[in-house]
Structure 1
Amino acid sequence: MLVPTPAAAPPTDGVAGWVVQVMDAVGAPGVGLLVGVENLFPPLPSEVILPLAGFSASLGTLSLVGAIVWATLGSVVGAWALYGLGHVLGRERIVRLLEKMPLVDVDDMLRAEEFFVRHGSTAVLVGRVVPVVRSLVSIPAGLERMPLLRFTVLTGLGSLVWNAALVLAGYALGEQYGLVAHYLEYVQYVVLAAVAVGLAFYVRTRLRRRRAGEREASRDEGESHGRDDTTRETARR
């Protein structure tokens, strides 16, 4: 059972102070609103929003379960919006749109697209814990016309894990919630390494199967030629 550490008052200035103001004004749905905006505007980091929501829950100003549920709903709705943009606008218009947005790097979307092309459904699920990719992977999912139901389920599961982990960490750490973002970088490295190992294993397995199939086809072709030669020799006799 998580027991929150003694906590001081939440911050009142900067981005963190603004996040607190939204949550104070709207309650747990405010967490969902903030996370939804974070999906559409990646420079607003969930690494600040979610631990701070957990911190607020430790003070009793938010429901812990409500914060997690609303954060996940906000993630899904924000992801739907980006999925819809990719589905409707197409790649060229998306790139032109991102070029006009401040603090958004088109290269980030291109990396997210490459990540999606390589990993497919896994990119949508695991991508929710990868910086920047977490938000932008929804665009290539829309571009590639991934079935909406599958996209929603994968987004919901991945977002639930991510949101719950960060909210609970902020709840447990109390006023030291800022440590979450510090250590999260190392966790993300581990996730990326695991994805790389899994991809390498998948590629290796596929290559082995392909080579085995090529050897089998070559052997069958050799046997076929041998039978043809025997038939021609018999016919000459």
Structure 2
Amino acid sequence: MNITMEVASAEPSGGVAGWVTGLMEKLGAPGAGLAIALENLFPPLPSEGILPLAGFTAAQGDMSLVAAIVWTTIGSVVGALALYGIGTAVGRERMRRLIDRLPLVNVADLEKSEAWFAKHGAKAVFFGRMVPVFRSLISVPAGVQRMSLRTFTLLTAAGSALWNTGFVLAGYSLGDNWRSVEGYAGAYSKVIMAVAVLAVVAFVVVRMVGARRARAVHRHEAGTRTRS
């Protein structure tokens, strides 16, 4: 009786986990792949929760462990290609026009980003697959910059395979305790988000201070010309 109760408590009953479980019950391993593809398009869906659940399901014998890894990696590539397509559709000229309308940023920032991506884009796409939120967003600039589709696909598949395999194996090994993986991954995600927020805040502060100084210099020069 105790064993039955423990296993039942490990099975998700609602929320994202319940939805993913329903997909896997209906579609098997491709259901896990579909969930991960959607996770790429909607970052609030956590791969850190979906992947260990797929591993736990494989440990229960409801799908093959290899199939879970292969299909979730396929899902990662499909989702990334969709975002790459969005970036390609937007293109550099539309991106420039958009940047031109935004406060605190300018075309020079975009040009610096383009130069950085031209130099480090391959590393960003590969290692970015292992960084929450960024793992989805990196596909868009890759499309905007028209990175080779073959290169993008191979790097995405390689990086995603490493990330997915680690989490699926963790869920498979931990069995009924698969939820603990999400807790550790959640802490990692919060650190990444905190760093990103701090970087954005620092950027905004520096730009606002620079803009105020530029206005002060302009007013001083205008006053000097008026007096003369």
Residue in structure 2 matched with residue 160 of structure 1 by the alignment: 161
Deviations 1:182-236 (A, max 9, x none): 223566779xxxxxxxxxxxxxxxxxxxxxxxxxxxxxxxxxxxxxxxxxxxxxx
Q: Which amino acid letter does the alignment assign opposite residue 140 of structure 2?
A: I
CA contact (8 A) 2:56 2:172 kept: yes
Letter in 2 for 1:16: A
Residues 156-235 of structure 1: pairs in structure 2 closer than 5 A = 156-184=157-185
What's 1:41 paired with? Answer: 42
- Residues 27-38 of structure 1: pairs in structure 2 closer than 5 A: 27-38=28-39
Size of the aligned set, in residue pairs, is 172
SS at 2:44's partner residue?
coil
Contact 2:48/2:186 (CA < 8 Å) preserved in 1?
no
Q: Which runs of 5+ in 2 are unaligned?
A: 1-5, 99-108, 193-228
The answer on 1:21 being equivalent to 2:22 is yes
- Asked if 2 retains the 8 angstrom alpha-carbon contact of 1:10 and 1:56, the reply is no
Aligned residue in 2 for 1:60: 61
The 3-state SS of whatever aligns with 1:90 is helix
CA RMSD across the alignment: 3.0
For 2:48, the aligned partner's letter is E
Partners of 2:27 and 2:127 in 1: how far apart? 30
> Structure 1 residues 88-97 or 163-172, which shifts more?
88-97
- The answer to whether the 8 A contact 1:85-1:94 is kept is no
Q: 1:183 to 1:96 in 2, by over 3 A?
A: farther
Deviation at 1:132, TM superposition (A): 0.3
Structure exhibiting the larger radius of gyration computed from Cα positions: 1
Residue 133 (str. 1) matches residue 124 (str. 2):
no
The 8 Å contact of residues 56 and 171 in structure 1, kept in 2 or not, is answered as yes
How far off is 1:89 after superposition? 1.8
Q: CA deviation at 1:90?
A: 2.7
Residue correspondence of structure 1 range 2-13 to structure 2 within 5 A: 7-8=7-8, 10-13=11-14
Could you tell me how far apart the structure 2 residues matched to 1:38 and 1:94 are?
Answer: 24
- 2: CA distance, partners of 1:62 / 1:96: 48
CA spacing shift, 1:81–1:61, aligned 2, 3 Å: same
Find the aligned partners of 1:96 and 1:43 in 2 and give their Cα distance.
28
For residues 35 and 62 of structure 1, what CA distance do their matches in structure 2 show?
Answer: 16
Identity value in percent: 56
The answer to whether the Cα contact below 8 Å between 1:7 and 1:174 also exists between their aligned partners in 2 is no
Note the C-alpha offset of 1:15.
Answer: 1.2
Q: Is the 8 A contact 1:42 1:132 kept in 2?
A: yes
Unaligned runs of 5+ in 1: 1-5, 98-109, 191-237
Q: What is the match of residue 122 of structure 2?
A: 121
Q: Which residue of the partner structure matches residue 86 of structure 1?
A: 87
CA positional deviation for 1:95:
11
The TM-score normalised by the length of structure 2 is 0.67
TM-score norm. by structure 1 comes to 0.65
Measure the CA separation in 1 of the matches of 2:42 and 2:97.
16
